[in-house]
Amino acid sequence: MPTLHPAHPVLRGSAPALALDAELAEAALALVPSDLRDVAGARAANAARHAAAAPVRVRDGVRSADTTLPGPAGPVPVRVLHPVPAGDQEPDEDSWRAGSGAGVRGAVLYLHGGAFALGDLDACDTQCAEYARDADVVVVAVDYRLAPEHPAPAGLEDGVAALRWLHAHAEELGVDPARVAVAGASAGGALAAGTALRARDEGGLPVAHLLLVQPVLDDRRTTASARGLRGVPVFDADANAVMWETYLAGAEADGYVAPARADLRGLPPTTVHLAEHDPLHDEGRDFAAALAAEGVRVATRTYPGTFHGFDSVVPGAGVSRRARADQAAVLRDEVGQPDRAAAHTPEGEADL
């Protein structure tokens, strides 16, 4: 596995030497962390990164439609993606509703990453299409409000509104309300976990599974990875600090906004996927351990030689394809199958 030393340009001379997956090491030169203090510039860089993923976009076997749902501060845009088995005809391709004869499926509410300030429905479209196709689920992706224009808890409130909408329209969506997962990547992981906590506390919004991919969880940033991983590709300790400053805008975080602070009892079964060289790695590991201590069924998986966001910003790498396939497998086994067998991976830690 190639090693990037501190003199490597992407490491900015301050990061530790990193043993990276060979394909990721090749891509790392172009993946200097964005300066989140320049939100416009960071958004442009993020959009460019995801535009580069176009060659591996997935559309076969999936149809999608954009709509809006009622939110706490106005309409919330969402994209609804339905799997379409080969040979099936979908006469109403522009509708977010299930087609006639589509049957009943599980669903995934998806909250994209982007440091609470970046990202949109197009940036997560490939990932959501893969979930819909490979897990055989209906996906509702949420274009939640972003900081700094809309600091905490705006994005979380939009996520909760979307979960309410999904349950209220389950029949029209062709969804079994007992098979609804909430999934999120990076900052979307914080929103996903916060949404599950709100659902637990408010009642009436069942969540069958929680999938957290390289999640943001703790504003306190006291772990070794959160303190020490500066200058690593895509997202580092400094970007993590600026992200929380921007999102909180001087307010105090509660357990819904920063789920590592929450009482985790009664959360649904949870899967946590982590990148090895990620400032968020340790808080994800600790969150999984805290869930297990509260009796929650939890599985964790760390991908060696990887950095934050590797599966989306270097989508063609073998490790990225495996990671996305693993995510889809979790959703297929947990909510895509009527019996929700949940047998795809044992509890505990697995390094791949």
- Beta-carbon-side half-sphere exposure of residue 115 (alpha carbons within 13 Å): 29
278 is catalytic: yes
Task: Locate all alpha helices (DSSP H) within the chain, ordered by sequence.
Answer: 22-27, 39-51, 125-135, 154-168, 170-173, 187-202, 224-228, 237-248, 281-293, 310-313, 318-331
**Catalytically annotated residue among 236, 278, 282, 326:** 278
Pairing relationship of beta strands 298-307 and 209-213 according to DSSP bridges:
unpaired
The answer to whether 186 is a known catalytic residue is yes
Closest CA to 166 of 110, 219, 117, 126: 110
Q: Which residue bears the tokens 């197009």?
A: 122
Rounded to whole angstroms, how far apart are CA atoms 24 and 46?
17
Please say whether the dihedral angle defined by the alpha carbons of residues 148, 117, 119 and 328, taken in this order, is positive or negative: negative
Please name the amino acid found at residue 173.
L
* Residue from 34, 64, 186, 320 carrying the catalytic annotation: 186
Q: Which of 158, 209, 308, 320 is catalytic?
A: 308
Catalytic residues: 186, 278, 308
